[in-house]
């Protein structure tokens, strides 16, 4: 267990909940989720909009007379989007402190920078993983951000945000999963919710002859249960009020975690992993969870 978790800049009283916007319905949902989180935790909300003026320069750079007007138009539209997002956030809580930032940088660049001192960073993706302009930003920030990055999903149903259900953490036994476990315990404690620790184990092995042999499933499950108990002992002592339920299953991590996301209020995964979670932020499992889970997904990078 990391002794410095609560001493990190992300847990300072001054650390804001940061949300990136692009004017889409998905980012509106992210603003709502971030505002609710900031209000519940007594934190400031910072709404960020990146203009990526360098891209505009690349397109209009040869037209010196046109570029200033285009850049000014983008600034005006960006300011209007921020003002609208701030109004949306204040409808959640009229007492909430809301600040806005209009940056000339690429959205991913500014959000990664802000993540170094943020309590957490929030972004939104559309129903069914449809990605608008912010989509590539989501993948970049979840891969390279600091601390906890939360991707909020529009599930396309009436249950847009949840306050019930457990916090679910995907655990693979790697050292990198420690950040996810720590973040999951903190979130479960703050929310007063149960914590479900999900571990996927494989069940086949190629023999020297090339045939596929079944591994002893019960032995695998027993060993996995023991590993979870050992790994979580320190956290359980630190957060005795958090009820932990280990779930060991013979399944692909993607399938298992997606199923749990249907009833969870938050799904937490680490920024790196091994075994079933290998390449979590670079491969198909990560892309699928970030884009297709049925609840907010927190990617925990640690301090």
Distance CA 144, CA 172 (A): 21
Question: Does residue 117 have a pLDDT over 50?
Answer: yes
> Of 111-120, 161-170, 264-273, which range is least confident?
264-273
Q: Which own/partner pairs from 62-67 qualify as long-range (CB within 8 Å, at least 24 positions apart)?
A: none
Distance CA 199, CA 246 (A): 8
Give the pLDDT confidence of 155-200 residue by residue, as tens digits. 655 555 678 899 999 887 666 678 889 999 999 999 999 999 998 8
pLDDT computed for residue 284 by the predictor: 56
Neighbours of 5 (CB within 10 A): 19
pLDDT computed for residue 174 by the predictor: 66
Beta strand 212-214 with 204-206 is antiparallel
Mean pLDDT for the stretch of residues 129-143: 68
Nearest to 195 by CA among 177, 183, 203, 207: 183
Average pLDDT of the chain is 82
Question: Does residue 42 have a pLDDT over 70?
Answer: yes
Neighbours of 185 (CB within 10 A): 25
pLDDT computed for residue 163 by the predictor: 80
Q: Which residues contact 2 (CB under 8 A, 6 or more apart)?
A: 178, 179, 182, 302, 303
Distance CA 33, CA 44 (A): 13
Which three-class secondary structure state does DSSP give residue 14? Answer: coil
pLDDT computed for residue 116 by the predictor: 96
Element (H, E) at 169: strand 167-170
Q: Which residue has the higher pLDDT, 203 or 74?
A: 74
pLDDT computed for residue 175 by the predictor: 62
Q: Which residue has the higher pLDDT, 162 or 150?
A: 150
pLDDT computed for residue 176 by the predictor: 60
pLDDT computed for residue 40 by the predictor: 94
Distance CA 277, CA 148 (A): 18
Question: Does residue 70 have a pLDDT over 90?
Answer: no
Distance CA 218, CA 197 (A): 18
DSSP E strands, 2-44: 17-20
pTM: 0.86
Distance CA 93, CA 33 (A): 12
**pLDDT band with cut points at 50, 70 and 90 for residue 212:** very low
Distance CA 177, CA 152 (A): 21
């Amino acid at each position: 267990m990391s002794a410095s978790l609560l001493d990190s800049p992300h847990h300072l009283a001054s650390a804001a909940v940061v949300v990136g916007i692009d004017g889409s319905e998905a980012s509106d949902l992210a603003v709502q989720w971030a505002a609710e989180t900031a209000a519940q935790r007594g934190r400031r909300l910072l709404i960020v909009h990146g203009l990526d003026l360098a891209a505009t320069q690349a397109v209009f750079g040869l037209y010196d007379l046109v570029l200033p007007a285009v850049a000014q138009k983008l600034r005006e539209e960006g300011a209007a989007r921020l003002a609208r997002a701030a109004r949306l956030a204040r409808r959640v809580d009229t007492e909430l402190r809301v600040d806005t930032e209009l940056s000339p940088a690429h959205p991913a660049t500014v959000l990664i920078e802000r993540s170094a001192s943020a309590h957490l960073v929030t972004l939104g993706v559309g129903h069914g993983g449809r990605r608008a302009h912010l989509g590539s930003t989501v993948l970049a920030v979840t891969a390279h951000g600091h601390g906890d990055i939360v991707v909020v999903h529009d599930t396309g149903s009436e249950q847009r945000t949840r306050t019930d259900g457990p916090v679910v953490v995907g655990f693979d036994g790697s050292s990198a999963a420690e950040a996810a476990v720590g973040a999951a315990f903190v979130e479960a404690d703050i929310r007063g919710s149960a914590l479900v620790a999900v571990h996927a184990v494989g069940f086949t092995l190629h023999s020297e002859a090339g045939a596929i042999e079944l591994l002893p499933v019960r032995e695998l499950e027993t060993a996995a249960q023991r590993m979870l108990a050992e790994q979580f002992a320190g956290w359980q002592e630190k957060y005795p009020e958090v009820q932990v339920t280990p779930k060991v299953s013979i399944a692909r991590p993607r399938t298992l975690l997606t199923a749990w996301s249907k009833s969870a209020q938050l799904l937490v995964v680490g920024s790196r992993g091994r075994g079933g979670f290998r390449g979590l932020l670079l491969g198909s499992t990560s892309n699928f969870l970030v884009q297709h889970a049925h609840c907010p997904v927190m990617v925990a990078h640690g301090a």
